Structure 1
Amino acid sequence: MLTNPPQGEDLDSPLARARRVHQACERFESDWRRGGQPWLEDFVDASCPEDRPALFSELLPLEIELRRERGDRPCSTEYLARFPDLEKLILEVFRDPELAAGDPQATAAWNSDTLGADSPDEPASGRPVPPGEECGDYLLLEEIAQGGMGIVYKARHLGLKRLVALKMILSGSLATPAERARFRREAELAANLDHPNIVPIYEVRDQDGMLFFSMKLVDGGNLAQHLATFARDPRATARLVVTLAQALHYAHGKGFIHCDLKPSNVLIDRDGQPQITDFGLARRTAQDSSLTATGAILGTPSYMAPEQAAGQRQSIGPATDVYGLGAILYELLTGRPPFRTSTMMETVLQVLERDPVAPRELVPGLPRELETICLKCLEKMPEDRYPTAQELANDLERFLQGDVVEATSVFQKLRRWTRREPEVVSRIGGLSLVALLTEFNHQVLAQKTNDWIHYEVQGTLLLWAVSALLFQFLWRRGWRSDRVRMLWSSADLICLTLALKLLNRVESTLLVGYPLMIAASGLWFRVNMVWFTTGLAIACYLVLYFDTAFGWSQPLPTWAKQDDLQYPNIYVAGLMLTGFVVARQVKRTLALGQYYENRQGD
C-alpha cells in the first residue's frame, strides 16, 4: 500500500502521482462501502490537471464495478454524457472485455452524449480515412473530437495551406440516407450564419461517397475544459454568457434554434472569445423537420429544456436556447450542471419535475443578482424565462453595470422551492393539513376530547415534520445513499405508527397511510427501497395490532372487528400486494429507461 509521501519528495515525480491516484481511489471506495454515493466528478475535478487522466482511468473501472455490485447497469453512453472531454479514456476503458460484457452499448452503435443523434450501424468502420492520409483537398493531421454522428480532424487545405477543422460523417461511405441528410443539414444551417461568435463553415463536400465539411479551426479547447477558470470570476462568467446570448439572438433572428447548448459545444479561441459550434440538432423556428420523428427527444439530458425532455417539439423556440444558456451559466458558477444523476432517465425526470439547487447554496459567495438571472433562465415553463436571448444579455449587462436586474416575484421563488424540495414540501404540506384538521376536529367537532392525547398527537406530527427537515438537510449535503433513504422511510413509518397508537380506537380509513407510504417509496426508483418500506410497514402494522389486541387490556382494534376487517392477515396481504405492484412498476420504468439510454436516434 502506498503511504504518505516522504518529506522532500518531488510532487511531480511518477511515484508521487501514483501515490495520489491510489489514495484518491481508496477514499472513493471507502466512501462507497460506507453507504455513501461519492460523485466521480468531484474526485476528478479536485485533482490537479496532470493527475486527471490517470485518476479517471483508475476510478472509472472502480465505479463501474461498485455499481454492478449494487445491481446497476452502467454503460459507456452515460459516461460519455458526464465526461464529454474524456471520451477517448472512456472508450478505452470499455474496450476491456470484462467491462464490455456488461455494457449494453457494446452491441450498440451510439457513441454520443447527445440523445437523438444518429450513429452508424458499424462503428468499427467509422474511421474511413485515418490521420496522415488525404481526403479530397485536405490532409488529415490529427483527430480532435468524436461525437454521435461525426468525427472532427485537424486538417490542412493542400491548395490554400490553411489549417481547418474537418468534420466527417462517422460511418463514412456506409452512412444511411437519413444520416447523410442530417449531417448535410448541420453544415447548411451553420453556413447560413455569419457571426463572429459562431464557427463558420467553409466548404461542404461529398468525396467518393465520403461526406464532410470544413470549418474554422478553433484551437483553444472547449468551454468544458475552462470551467475552473470561470468558476473563480462570476463577472467574467457573466460577460461570456452575454457574448453567447448575443450570438444566439442573431441565430434566432435568422430563424434557427440550436437545441443542444452545452459547454462542450462552445469553443474558446486563443483570444478567449467563445465560438458556438455543433448545429447537428438545430432546427428552423417555422419548420417541422422530417429528419426527426414526431415527439423524439433530442438533446443532452443535463442541459436540455423541459419541453425538449418531454418531446414537445411544438414548444421549442428561442426560450429553449435561453434554458441552455442558463444551464451553461449554472455550471460555470457552480462547477456542475443543473441536474446530474447516475442514469439519464433520472436526469430527465429531474429536468421535468424539479428545480435545481440554488447556486448560492453550492457557492455562498455568488452575487444574488446573478443567481436570480440564472434561475430565471431555468424556469420550467418557456413563458417564465427570458423571452429572447437578447433580454437575457440585457439583464446580465445590467448586473455588470451594477443596475437592478429584473425582479423575480415571491410566488416564483416559492414555486421554485416546492419543485426543488418535493420530498420535504409534500411531507410538510401534508402534515400541516393533518394538524389543522386535527385541531379543527378537537376544537369544533369533538364532543368529548382528551386534551392530553390531542397534544401528544400534535407533538408527533411536529416530530414528523422536524425529521423530514433533518433528512432533507442531510440529503442536500450530499448524503444521497440508500441508507439515508431507508432512515427517512423508517422515520415516516415510525411517526405514523406512533400517531395511530396514540389514537387507540383509530378509524380504519387512517390505515391508508401504510399503503400510501409504500406507493411513495416508488418515487425513489429503487426496488430495494420499495421492499424495505413494504416490510417495515407490515412490521409496524403488526406491532399496532398485537399491542392493541393482545397485551394491554384494550379492545380489539377497530380494523380487526368482525364488521370491519376481520383478519389482520388480509390487510398484511394487501400491503404485500401493494409492494409487489409498486416494485413491478419501478422495474418496468427502469427497464424503459435503460432502453431509452441504449436506443439509437432514429
Structure 2
Amino acid sequence: MATASVILTVTHGPLDGRSFRFDERTTAFLGRARDCNPQLPDDDDHRTVSRHHCLLDINPPDVRIRDFGSLNGTYLNGARIGRRDRGESVEQAAARAFPEHDIKDGDEIRLGDTVFRVGIDRSRPEKTKVVPRCVHCGADVGGEIGDRDGEYVCAECRSDPDQLARDYIAGSWRAGRYEIVKLLGEGGMGRVYLARDLGTGELVALKMMLPEVAADPHARAQFMREISVSQSLEHPNIARIRDADSYAGVFFFTSEYCAGGSLAARYRKQPVPVDEAVPLILQALAGLEFAHGQGVVHRDLTPHNILLAADGTLKLADFGLAKAFDQAGLSGLTRTGTAAGKPFFMSYPQAINYRYVGPEVDVWSLAACLYHLLTGLYPRDFDGDRDPWQVVLETAAVPLLSRRPDVPRQLALVIDTALRDKPAIGYPTAAEFRNALLLKGV
C-alpha cells in the first residue's frame, strides 16, 4: 500500500473537476500531445499550451516541476517559472536550462487557461512528531527530510562515504564478514568497492547505496522484495547479487567481482571494431533473454553496468537495482535534473510510461549500447544544454551509417530497426534482436 499520493485536480478550464492521481514514483509530462499525462485537449481553447509544455517529477509525497521553454510559460501560484522569450525559437529555448521548483500541498499550476490544484494525501494517521535524527551521528536532519519519516543519513556523514562504509561493515552490516580493499567507482546510485569475503577469501564487488530520502519501513520492504527476485538470476552473462541487506538508512549489496571493468571504462567513447562489439552485445542479449524469461526487467542498461569478467565473459550488472530503488521512492527526485536522471540510453516508451515498461525497453537500451560502442556517440543528438527529456520525446535515433559509414549496411539496418521506438520498439524481445544480429551482423 502506498504511503502517500499526489493528486492533480483541475479547478478551472474545460477539464474542470477531473482529477489525476499518482501513487508511485513517476515522470509526468503535461501538454497537448497524446503522450502527455495529464493531456490537455488539442483545441482552440488550448492553443497557448505547448505539445510538451512542462515536466512533473513525482515521488510521493514530493513533487518538482520544470517548464520546457513553452511560448506562454508555466505558472506556479501565479508566478511564471518558465517561458521562452518573444522571438526566441523552440530550438533556442531548448538550449536553455529552465529552473526546477518544488511543489507543496495546495499549490496551483496554470497552463494557459487550465489550472491544477496539487493535493498531497499522506494516507497515514497523524502521530506525535519527534525530532528526526541522522541514524549515524544523531544530528538533527529535519531541514533535510521535511515531512518524511524513516531512517536517514545526514549530509555531513554522506560527505565521507568511505568512512561510512567502513563503519557499517565493521559494526552493523554482516559484521566481520567483509573488508574493503579499494574503491572501484561511483555513480548515480552509490559507490562500488572491491571487498574480500573473510570467510572464503573471495573478492567481491560491494555496492553501498544511500537513499536520497528518509527510508521508511514500507520503502525498505518494497525494495528488498524486488531485490530478492534479482538474487535468483543465475546465468553466465549476469553478475548475480550474492548478498543484500539494509541497516540504519544504508543499503549494501555484494556480487561477483568482474576484473575487466565496465564497457564504459574499457572503451571510453572510442569506436570499437564491428567484430568486437557485436559478439559482446550477443552475450548481453543472452543474459537479457534469460532475465526476461524470469520476469525481471533491468530498466537501466548502460555501458557503465555491462561488465567484463577476467576471462572476457560479459556480465550484466545491477539487475533490478535501479528499478527497485527508484520505484520504492528511495532515489529522491533525480530524473529531472542530475546526471543520473538523463535518459541517454532510454527509449521513448520508457520516458512516457515509466511505471509500466516491459522487456522491450531493455532491448532498445542494449541496441543503444551497441550503437555507442560502434560510434562513441549516443543514438540521439543530445547537443549542448538542450533538455534531454525533450530530445527523447521529439527526436529519433540518428541513422548509424551517417555516423559510421564503414559498418556493413545490413548490420546498420538491423541496429536502426532496433532503435526505432515510435509507435513501438523495433525488436520487442531480446531473442528477435539477437536473431537479427546473427543473421545480418556476424
Name the TM-score, length of structure 1 as normaliser. 0.42
- Aligned residue among 294, 301, 306 for 2:348: 306
Q: One-letter code of the match for 1:357?
A: V
Q: CA deviation at 1:254?
A: 0.5
The residue matched to 1:224 in structure 2 has which SS? Answer: helix
Native 8 Å contact 1:330 1:336 kept in 2: yes
1:129 equivalenced with 2:165 (yes/no):
yes
Partner of 2:84: none
Cα distance in structure 1, aligned partners of 2:400 and 2:388: 18
Cα distance in structure 2, aligned partners of 1:291 and 1:208: 17
Cα distance in structure 1, aligned partners of 2:268 and 2:169: 36
Q: CA deviation at 1:318?
A: 1.7
Describe the shift of the 1:326–1:108 C-alpha distance in structure 2 as closer, same or farther (beyond 3 A): farther
1:252 equivalenced with 2:292 (yes/no):
yes
1:263 equivalenced with 2:299 (yes/no):
no
- Aligned residue among 386, 395, 400 for 1:359: 400
Partner of 1:349: 390
Native 8 Å contact 2:180 2:195 kept in 1: yes
The residue matched to 1:257 in structure 2 has which SS? Answer: coil
Cα distance in structure 1, aligned partners of 2:257 and 2:186: 15
1:280 equivalenced with 2:315 (yes/no):
no
Q: CA deviation at 1:204?
A: 2.1
Partner of 2:377: 336
- Aligned residue among 170, 179, 188 for 2:228: 188
CA deviation digits over 1:358-396, x for unaligned, max 9? 121111111111211111111123634112101110111
Native 8 Å contact 2:381 2:398 kept in 1: no
Q: CA deviation at 1:196?
A: 0.8
Describe the shift of the 1:308–1:264 C-alpha distance in structure 2 as closer, same or farther (beyond 3 A): same
The residue matched to 1:215 in structure 2 has which SS? Answer: strand
Describe the shift of the 1:380–1:209 C-alpha distance in structure 2 as closer, same or farther (beyond 3 A): closer
Higher RCO structure (Cα 8 Å, ≥6 apart): 2
Cα distance in structure 2, aligned partners of 1:152 and 1:318: 26
Partner of 1:387: 428
What is the correspondence of 1:130-529 to structure 2 with a 5 Å cutoff?
130=166, 134=170, 136=175, 137-170=177-210, 175-177=215-217, 180-181=220-221, 184-185=224-225, 187-206=227-246, 210-227=250-267, 231-278=271-318, 279-282=320-323, 300-314=342-356, 316-341=357-382, 346-381=387-422, 383-401=424-442
Partner of 2:92: none
Describe the shift of the 1:196–1:386 C-alpha distance in structure 2 as closer, same or farther (beyond 3 A): same
The residue matched to 1:375 in structure 2 has which SS? Answer: helix
CA deviation digits over 1:197-231, x for unaligned, max 9? 11112222346765322211112110112336983
Number of residues paired by the alignment? 286
The residue matched to 1:129 in structure 2 has which SS? Answer: helix
Cα distance in structure 2, aligned partners of 1:383 and 1:317: 12
Describe the shift of the 1:353–1:178 C-alpha distance in structure 2 as closer, same or farther (beyond 3 A): farther
Q: CA deviation at 1:241?
A: 1.2
Native 8 Å contact 1:197 1:247 kept in 2: yes
Partner of 1:477: none
Q: One-letter code of the match for 2:359?
A: P
What is the correspondence of 1:521-540 to structure 2 with a 5 Å cutoff?
none
The residue matched to 2:264 in structure 1 has which SS? Answer: helix
Cα distance in structure 1, aligned partners of 2:392 and 2:413: 18
Cα distance in structure 1, aligned partners of 2:225 and 2:294: 15
Q: One-letter code of the match for 2:244?
A: V
Partner of 1:421: none
What is the correspondence of 1:6-21 to structure 2 with a 5 Å cutoff?
none
CA deviation digits over 1:492-527, x for unaligned, max 9? xxxxxxxxxxxxxxxxxxxxxxxxxxxxxxxxxxxx
Describe the shift of the 1:177–1:340 C-alpha distance in structure 2 as closer, same or farther (beyond 3 A): farther
Sequence identity percentage: 32
Cα distance in structure 1, aligned partners of 2:212 and 2:327: 24
Cα distance in structure 1, aligned partners of 2:192 and 2:98: 27
The residue matched to 1:381 in structure 2 has which SS? Answer: coil
Describe the shift of the 1:347–1:207 C-alpha distance in structure 2 as closer, same or farther (beyond 3 A): closer
Q: CA deviation at 1:336?
A: 0.8
Question: Structure 1 regions of 5+ residues with no counterpart?
Answer: 1-70, 76-106, 110-118, 402-602
Cα distance in structure 2, aligned partners of 1:308 and 1:331: 19
Cα distance in structure 1, aligned partners of 2:191 and 2:226: 14
Question: Structure 2 regions of 5+ residues with no counterpart?
Answer: 1-94, 100-142, 146-151
The residue matched to 2:405 in structure 1 has which SS? Answer: coil
- Structure showing greater radius of gyration is 1
**RMSD between aligned alpha carbons?**
3.9
Higher helix share goes to which structure? 1
Cα distance in structure 2, aligned partners of 1:133 and 1:350: 42
Q: One-letter code of the match for 1:124?
A: S
Native 8 Å contact 1:145 1:151 kept in 2: yes
Q: CA deviation at 1:232?
A: 3.7
The residue matched to 2:396 in structure 1 has which SS? Answer: coil
CA deviation digits over 1:136-176, x for unaligned, max 9? 21111112222333322111111211111112232599755
CA deviation digits over 1:81-112, x for unaligned, max 9? xxxxxxxxxxxxxxxxxxxxxxxxxx999xxx
Partner of 1:17: none
Q: CA deviation at 1:236?
A: 2.0
The residue matched to 1:184 in structure 2 has which SS? Answer: helix
Cα distance in structure 2, aligned partners of 1:309 and 1:343: 20
Name the TM-score, length of structure 2 as normaliser. 0.56
Describe the shift of the 1:263–1:231 C-alpha distance in structure 2 as closer, same or farther (beyond 3 A): same
Describe the shift of the 1:205–1:73 C-alpha distance in structure 2 as closer, same or farther (beyond 3 A): same
The residue matched to 2:382 in structure 1 has which SS? Answer: coil
Cα distance in structure 2, aligned partners of 1:321 and 1:210: 28
Q: One-letter code of the match for 2:207?
A: K
Q: One-letter code of the match for 1:339?
A: R
Q: CA deviation at 1:190?
A: 2.1
Cα distance in structure 2, aligned partners of 1:384 and 1:356: 12
Native 8 Å contact 2:260 2:308 kept in 1: yes
Describe the shift of the 1:129–1:188 C-alpha distance in structure 2 as closer, same or farther (beyond 3 A): same
Native 8 Å contact 1:187 1:213 kept in 2: no
Describe the shift of the 1:330–1:173 C-alpha distance in structure 2 as closer, same or farther (beyond 3 A): closer
